[in-house]
Amino acid sequence: MEQQRHEAVASPLKKQAGQSGSDGNIYRRDQRIEIRLSHEERNQLEQKTVAAGYGSVPQYVRAVVLAEQMRAELTDKA
């Protein structure tokens, strides 16, 4: 049941490569999250993005947030 529900809400496949970036993602990114930052917070985020070698803030945020989620899941299993 859980797997069926997850499949029903999964994003459709992209129609062409590069449609949602060049990071190897095969699904169309059609969900949006907005946050408000101060000017200083935005500058810090952009500096961290460049320092980490990412081409865009969204790529950096995905990598950091999803990696943190994966670390937490692994820690919970240990």
pLDDT digits (tens, 9 = 90+) for 33-53: 999 999 999 999 999 999 999
pTM exceeds cut of 0.85:
no
**Domain with 24 in it:** 1-31
Q: Is 19 helix (H, G, I), strand (E, B) or coil?
A: strand
Share of the chain above pLDDT 70, in %: 60
Q: If pLDDT is split at 50, 70 and 90, which confidence band does 28 have? A: confident
Task: Give 7-24 pLDDT, tens digit per residue.
Answer: 446 666 656 555 555 667
Query: Are 77 and 39 in the same domain?
Result: yes
Total domains, the chain: 2
Neighbours of 29 (CB within 10 A): 13
Residues 48 and 18 in one domain: no
Alpha-carbon distance of 45 to 47, in angstroms, equals: 5
**Pairwise CA distance, residues 65 & 55, whole Å:** 16
Average pLDDT over all residues of the chain: 77
